Amino acid sequence: MASGGGYIGRGAGLARRDWPGLAWLYLSNLVLAALASTALSAEFGSVLNTSLEAQRLAHGFDLAVFLDLLLRPEVTPRLLAPASLSFAIAFGLVTLFLTPGIVQGFLSEEHPRRGAFFQACGHWFWRFFWFAVLTLPVFGIVLGVLSLARDALLSWAEKSPEPRLYFYVGLGTLLVMWVAAVVLRLWFDLTQFALVHSGKFWRSIATGFRLLRRGCFRLFWIYFSISLVGWLGLAAGLWLWVKLPPERVGLAFLLGQAILILWLGTRYWQRAAEALWFREHAPALEPAVAAPPAPVAAAAASPEAPLPV
Amino acid sequence: MSRCDTMPRVPRARSLLLAAAAVFLALGAARAQTWEQAVNPAAVYSADGKPLSPRVVHYTIEAKYNEKAHTLDATETLVYRNLTGQPLDTFPFHMYLNGFQPESTWAQEGHRDFPTLEWSEKNRGAVNIQQMTVEGMGDLTGQLQFIHPDDDNAGDRSVVEVKLPKPVPPGASVTFHIKFYDVFPEVVARTGYMHDFIMGAQWFPKVGVWWHGGWNCHQFHLNTEFFADFGVYDVKLTLPRRYVTGASGIEVGSQDNPDGTRTVTWHGEDIHDFAWTASPRFVVAEGTFPGSAGPVKMRALVLRPHAAQAQRYLTALRQAMYYFDHWFGPYPYKQITLVDPDPDSRAGGMEYPTLFTADTNWWMPRGLLAPEVVVVHEYGHQYWYGMVATNEFEEAWLDEGINQYSETSIMDELYGPDRSLLDLWGATAGDTELFAHTFYVRSPDTDPITRKAYEFMNNGAYGNVTYGKTASVLHTLDGMVGKETMRRALHTYFLRYRFTHPTGEDFLKTVEEVSGRKDLRPFFDQAVYGTQVLDYEVLSVTSEPVNWWKPERDSGAVFRSQVLVHRRGDFIFPVTVEVRFDDGQVVRENWDGKDRWVRYTYDKKAKVVSAEVDPDHLIYLDRDLFNNSRTAKPDTTAARKLHNYWLFFNQWMAQIVSWLI
């Protein structure tokens, strides 16, 4: 069996091999966000573009000037929140659409061609959609219960005269919630692999759970190690951003996008490394991965697929 | 045989015990003697040995705090000197702790302005007079009657009045003996307990002020602070021995009691209120400031988790004391006590005579100067609230507003105007910009700053106008008469009116007198007494060839540049307009601002680059600083930068959301 480090390294190689999937994700992330933020840019521009006061934002970041800006009637960031939320949902749907193609690519020995990639995306979309619909309540329930426990612990900590206790309890309980969320995520990732692998919707959930029990610690370590790269990259990127000359907007944009690509990339890398582990531990890998995606009608006809596809 | 030989022998251990007891008794006697002698040490520096203030009142209070119930039993003796020049037969008393009851005017106004806040029984506070006797007149407890001088709220019990059977003649004194009982709330309005921290503020029945021919004793309102006569306070506080205490005045005695409590005695002179605090978690840090009136003991009571910030507090306090001493006048008291309250208590940032609460947190970064701002601000109150002591119910701006101006001026002087509040991770903020101008911009026209505190539109308007607008007005005055002149004006105002309860007109006349400017009235009428909004804008800047109709343009063409300036607001104020041209020329114009607009026209070979109203940035009262200037060519850097932040935030948040899928 390969070590965690082996999966991580080979996972990086697999993610690099299938980089177009990442590129599609990033491009959709950028384009949708640009659409969501254009209105605010126009609002800011109407106030700032011909004002000398704007220099205090261009050559630094003067919080007082920024707050003055937000107090102006032309600037309505609150009204832009729905656009941001819509964008986040749209990006979630795009991710949902692209994920089956990405998963199928990771499970195959060869880099998928673009046609096969999008064919897989379309073929599995509805099953992935319904699976996502099923997972969201599970996330909601588990994290909701943990959140209630966290609130109870925090209100206990709040009564303590030691102010640091509240912080550490808050941090510790967040960490617990994060671990729980990651474990759930790993289960659902494995289920997605099993779904593409076998085409059996309900059986995949059980398969994913069995595989998670078998390799939980190894998989968690893989996930955590790669996450660490993302977090360290984010910290280093933000540190660099602060050090940049404030008026170098283009450079700041590139740095910001590099951070976002790194974040998206680490998630991509995590899936690739998990897929490698899955390939080595899945009960029977050959039929679904080697062959092109099963026709929709065939999948629908399967007794294991009562859900709409 | 010597007498010693005939004495019975005692065991060695017993003799040691006896010796220890003798030493203890001797020390106790010495302590008692010291306390007796130290009942009235001078708590202030007085050049001629005379009191600094009229000393209308002398309070002697003995109080015992119950830490489990958060209650306090006390007896109060008030000697009131009738310096009003007329006989007095009624005396109103503030009962501030009764404001923390849902029926009170304080709570009703709080619900009006913050309807989502819910009442909690933990927030209930009370002060109950159990008995009031007046020397020579007997028990007058039955004569006590709650009154409501400001509204018709019969549920309000924040002012009580007693009618004496015979008047107190002018020049005579009257002595009240009051037995009262406090219930402290979990901290409300910076008063009460939180965990094992207690802030004893506005906690005893306090007589009103005879002012301008009548009693001035307002109910406790959401937006009002305090007003009281100067006098002497002798207070004995008994608390569990593990508590570290601090209070107004100076400590003159401390005695451990057999029941595990300790009684600490405090003495204050020429002060108009008395507050105290206690917590077993206080660590004491001390220093001395060499004030111009004499050395001042700086005593910081810092919570143990914040002990690392004790020196940061003391440094800020020393800086504040230096500037107030040099700019405005001497601090005549022998001690100043800084209290670091429980961070959950929201008791930070409040002033009492010779004592104030600061605020910090264990994670407070160096680049965020919030603790420094609070220390400078609250220390500043020692001058405007503590010594000048204006009527905060009716003219809150004279304390909070002038103090906001003092604080922002000092912070800007210390750290630079652009980063006197924040200099962290590439972001900056100036204290004046944020805590004066940005406050003001939020309520530029709701209320005149001279409005009574309890008559403002709401709590937000009260804060924005009283603090932000007043400071903006005074910073604008800086630009009109010069910073040095303003400092001299405040110096004169402080020295002339300390311990006298002056009015707003006293302050404005002092500014006029010291600056020698008799033309300030129109400004005062609009800025201080009015609600006019000051807002100038550069509407357009254009440069076109003079011979604009000719199709051919030669290289030596002359351009006609036009700058259109508009007075958007109804506040008339003379302004300077600076016009810059692309050959480096700079032209300054002065406009009286009386018309609604003015157009400046130039025929030059150069084109106009930009025009700016108030190029030296002296008019802090201008509501909108963005429209003060206009450039001929747009520069999108700032907008692109903000767009970049927003784009990054959107992309990142979307990635977080998509992680669920």
Say which CATH number the domain at B206 has: 2.60.40.1730
Task: Chain B: give the shortest CA distance to residue A191, in Å.
Answer: 12
Answer whether residue B486 is part of any domain.
yes
Considering only CA atoms, which of B511, B64, B8 is closest in space to residue B261?
B64
* Parent domain of B163: 57-350
Same structural domain, B241 and B104: yes
Range with lowest mean pLDDT among A116-125, B144-153, B232-241, B560-569: A116-125
Answer whether residue B463 is part of any domain.
yes
Answer whether residue B407 is part of any domain.
no
* A contact test, residue of B304, B419, B661 with most A CBs within 10 A: B661
Answer whether residue B631 is part of any domain.
yes
Q: pTM here?
A: 0.88
Tens of pLDDT, residue by residue over A82-95, are 888 888 899 999 99
Task: Chain A: give the shortest CA distance to residue B239, in Å.
Answer: 19
In chain A, alpha helices (H):
4-17, 19-48, 55-58, 63-70, 77-107, 114-158, 163-198, 201-243, 249-281, 286-290, 296-301
Considering only CA atoms, which of B559, B566, B560, B561 is closest in space to residue B541?
B561
Please report which helix (H) or strand (E) contains residue B350, including its range: strand B350-352
Per the CB < 8 Å rule, is B305 touching A162? Answer: yes
Residue B72, classed as helix, strand or coil, is strand
Section B634-643 average pLDDT: 94
- How far apart, in Å, are the Cα atoms of B181 and each of A223, B97, B165, B578, B640? 62, 11, 25, 65, 62
Which pLDDT belongs to residue B385? 97
Q: Number of structural domains, chain B? A: 4
Query: B467: burial class by Cβ within 10 Å (0-12, 13-18, 19+)?
Result: buried
Please report which helix (H) or strand (E) contains residue B380, including its range: helix B370-381
Same structural domain, B485 and B540: no
Tens of pLDDT, residue by residue over B200-248, are 999 999 999 999 999 999 999 999 999 999 999 999 999 999 999 999 9
Taking contacts as CB-CB distances below 8 angstroms, the residues of chain B near A60 are 418, 426, 428
Q: How confident is the model at residue A252 (pLDDT cuts 50, 70, 90)?
A: very high
Per the CB < 8 Å rule, is A62 touching B653? Answer: no
Answer whether residue B44 is part of any domain.
no
What ipTM goes with this model?
0.89
Number of A:B CB contacts under 8 A?
Answer: 189
CB-nearest to A256 from B305, B640, B644 is B644
In the sheet that holds B559-567, the strands lie side by side as B536-545, B559-567, B597-604
Tens of pLDDT, residue by residue over A139-180, are 999 999 999 999 999 989 888 878 788 899 999 999 999 999
Q: Look at the block and give the residue holding tokens 């660099």.
A: A240
Asked if B507 contacts B490 with a C-beta cutoff of 8 angstroms, the reply is no
Taking contacts as CB-CB distances below 8 angstroms, the residues of chain B near A45 are 634, 636, 639
| Per-residue tokens: B254 | 């401390």
- Return the domain boundaries, chain A: 19-301
Residue in chain B lying closest to A240 (CA): B425
Per the CB < 8 Å rule, is B428 touching A62? Answer: yes
Same structural domain, B486 and B337: no
Taking contacts as CB-CB distances below 8 angstroms, the residues of chain B near A72 are 624, 626
Tens of pLDDT, residue by residue over B334-381, are 999 999 999 888 899 999 999 999 999 989 999 999 999 999 999 999
User: Any residues with CB less than 8 A from the CB of A308 and at least 6 apart, and which?
Assistant: A126, A130
**Spatial distance between the Cα atoms of A286 and A284, rounded to a whole number of angstroms:** 6
Considering only CA atoms, which of B460, B343, B327 is closest in space to residue B406?
B327
Section B594-607 average pLDDT: 96
Same structural domain, B564 and B547: yes
Task: Chain A: give the shortest CA distance to residue B359, in Å.
Answer: 13
* A contact test, residue of B655, B657, B659 with most A CBs within 10 A: B655
Residue B423, classed as helix, strand or coil, is strand
Tens of pLDDT, residue by residue over B422-439, are 999 999 999 999 999 999
Which pLDDT belongs to residue A161? 79
Per the CB < 8 Å rule, is A58 touching B638? Answer: yes
Considering only CA atoms, which of B316, B284, B261, B328 is closest in space to residue B497?
B328
Same structural domain, B211 and B345: yes
CB-nearest to A158 from B344, B362, B610 is B344
Same structural domain, B268 and B154: yes
Per the CB < 8 Å rule, is A92 touching B660? Answer: yes
Per the CB < 8 Å rule, is B638 touching A256? Answer: no
**Count of Cβ atoms closer than 10 Å to residue B513 Cβ:** 14
- How far apart, in Å, are the Cα atoms of B32 and each of A184, B29, B242, B472? 71, 5, 21, 53
Answer whether residue B402 is part of any domain.
no
Same structural domain, B122 and B253: yes
Asked if B224 contacts B104 with a C-beta cutoff of 8 angstroms, the reply is no
Flag whether residue A156 sits within 8 Å of chain B, measured between CB atoms: no
Same structural domain, B511 and B541: no
Considering only CA atoms, which of B247, B287, B240 is closest in space to residue B262?
B240
Same structural domain, B467 and B595: no
Same structural domain, B520 and B542: no
Per the CB < 8 Å rule, is A49 touching B658? Answer: no
Same structural domain, B599 and B629: yes
Same structural domain, B504 and B576: no
